[in-house]
Structure 1
Amino acid sequence: MAVKALPPVSELTEQQQRGWRCIWCRYPLTPGADVDLGEQRARPVGGAAYSWFPRACADEATCTARARRTGA
């Protein structure tokens, strides 16, 4: 998968933040059909820092096509 900047955590759903859905196309992920993008830390203004765990689809072409169809 090509290296892309991660979207702002504030724009993601809880399922995307927890790695249950792809951060790019929102598709539900399953073990082995995803790419772990590593633990990330968020530090909101006026709030406590927390970890989030983005994942993406392993098949970049399918993911890109899905994201375009859904407008994600």
Structure 2
Amino acid sequence: NEAFASVVLAWQKETGADLDKVNVNGGAIALGHPLGATGVRLMTTLLNELERTGGRYGLQTMCEGGGQANVTIIERLG
């Protein structure tokens, strides 16, 4: 849930993460950052993508004010 592309590029360079598995539909820059509803938008996108791909696990992260963040791990059953 990035606000600036430079953050994602620096993170990817540092971690070597596979961008084919990260924000496959785009992040906040592409999809928007609705005030007060970002978590719902992120979770809806994650659940829809798990259904579409038949994926088993999903990871949602979101930054918050004051340098805080939260993370949710989802397991798709059935």
TM-score by length of 2: 0.28
User: Which one has the bigger helix percentage?
Assistant: 2
